[in-house]
A and B are shown apart, each in its own frame.
Chain A
Amino acid sequence: MKKITDDDLVLVYYGEHSDADLVRRVAEDPQLTNRLAVLSEQLSALDVAMEPPSRSSDYGAEVWQKLVPTLADQGPARKPWSSAWLKPTAAFASVLAAIGVAFILGRQTAPVADSISNPPQLASSVNSGRVLASYSASYLQQMDVLLTGLANQSAPADINTWAAEMLLKNRVVRVAAENAEQHRLAQLLRELEPLLIELSHETAVASPRVRQRLQTEAQDTWLLRVRVMQSELATQPNKTSGLSI
């Protein structure tokens, strides 16, 4: 059996390991799970150490003031009216794609780990035999709650911690989805990752401007996509198979 190195754990932590069996071994072995937890804690320390200095509320205006003289010399390359009119928005296109995939998804899926951040539940969850579709739907439900809180500005003060936990879950489910060749689900989760990183790393909630932006993103982009995918997965029949994380 292949020895699992720290480098392997780094890839597992970032949801980048392509060896599904290895990822499952990490999830099931308490010693490996513990090593992963230590790595996770140490990498979290990076968040504190590399927190950028805060900007004043006038920062955007300062950037603009310095930018104005240079803009005077260089105009934008103009976008023709026609192409701006004809192209659908990214959000609209992906929602259509997500709805379309509901008719295609019938693949057998696999059990996944509940959460890397929650070692005691990890192995039991892996062994529970729940299918990827139902786990993913449940995960997306949690995501829905988080996004709704964000959109309504009713998220709890510890949203950073919450988002950090969701980030790890997001990676585990994404790897499982990739292995089960559920590309659309994997893509959605991949696209959600930067939002979760921002929420978990930044003092975003402390900055009204950033909070406003995240609120708009949650409202305009993510909530609908997550809900479409969620209902899609919830209606899939539960199946088990040999495919695993």
Chain B
Amino acid sequence: METLELKLIKKAQRGDRMAFRQLVMEHSERVFRLAWRLMGSEDAANDVVQDSFLKAWTRLDQFDYRAQFSTWLHRITVNTAMDALRKQSSRSKYEAPELEREPMGERSACPAETADLRKQMQVAMKSLTEVERAALMLRHFEGHSIAEISALLKINGSATKQAIFRAVRKMRETLTPLTEQEGYSQ
């Protein structure tokens, strides 16, 4: 049975913009979440979202149905973000996530703790290199294997592991005092 998404992809591959619009509508939020975690700011993440969908449009002929469309789009987004980070790194350090925004979702039940955690995380994120942050984000949030991350970041497996180890160490150094506080909960 052909899914609605497959029908949309096939139409978009034949130049149907409305079909591509549907795909954009469907996947924008997920792409943004990935981009935000890799880039660390809303503005930079929004730029990556735009660039990623543009690349997806121009490369739709390369989508061969062996992977899910979301997986293919995910790879484009990671590559786009990594390119942006490489350009960014030559200009300035990582822009830590904005803290002024309202936390969202069920886990924001303890705003004070969450805000504290976010603040500490900002400190920790600043101490990570682009590769350390990307490796940790891709492993922790996106579930990529070490081998996949190595390919995405264009570094060897050992370097990827070391990047994750360093990132986790830095995170733990920051988070340990908070998580040890009595009454802390997610």
Contacts and interface: CB of A to CB of B under 8 A. Distances in A.
Given A10-B164, A77-B58, A42 B179 contact: yes
Interface residues of A, number: 63
B101 A53 contact: yes
B85 to A, nearest CB: 16
A190 B144 CA distance: 9
Contacts of B78: none
B37 A213 contact: no
A196 B142 CA distance: 10
A217 B60 CA distance: 21
Interface string B22-40: 0011111110110011000
Contacts of B58: 74-77
B90 interface: no
Interface in B116-133: 117-118, 120-121
Interface string A198-235: 00011100110110010011001100000000000000
Nearest to B16: A76
A89 B15 contact: no
Given A7-B165, A52-B32, A203-B104, A87 B64 contact: yes
B140 A46 contact: yes
B117 A90 contact: no
A186 B176 CA distance: 33
Contact of A48 (B13, B29, B49, B186): B186
Nearest to A7: B165
A64 B140 contact: no
B121 A76 contact: no
Interface in A46-88: 46-55, 59-61, 63-64, 66-67, 70-71, 74-79, 81, 83-84, 87-88
Contacts of A66: 50
Contacts of A76: 12-13, 15, 20, 57-61
Given A76-B60, A87-B65, A209-B29, A45 B106 contact: no
B95 interface: no
Q: Which 7 A-B pairs have the closest CB atoms?
A: A203-B105, A79-B13, A60-B25, A49-B121, A77-B61, A193-B143, A52-B36
A153 interface: no
A41 B63 CA distance: 39
A161 to B, nearest CB: 9
A189 to B, nearest CB: 11
Interface string B89-112: 000000001100111111110000
A206 B182 CA distance: 29
Contacts of B6: 89
B66 A90 contact: yes
Interface in B163-185: 164-165, 168-169, 171-172, 175-176, 178-179
A194 interface: yes
Interface in B37-89: 37, 42, 45, 49-50, 53-54, 57-68, 70
Given A71-B20, A71-B57, 4 more contacts: A14-B140, A78-B13, A197-B140, A202-B33
A45 B139 contact: no
The CB with the most chain B CB atoms within 10 A, among A79, A88, A213, is that of A79
Given A51-B103, A78-B14, A210-B30, A67 B50 contact: yes
10 contacts: A42-B179, A46-B140, A51-B108, A53-B42, A54-B104, A64-B21, A74-B54, A160-B106, A193-B143, A194-B142
A77 B131 CA distance: 32
Contacts of A220: 1, 3
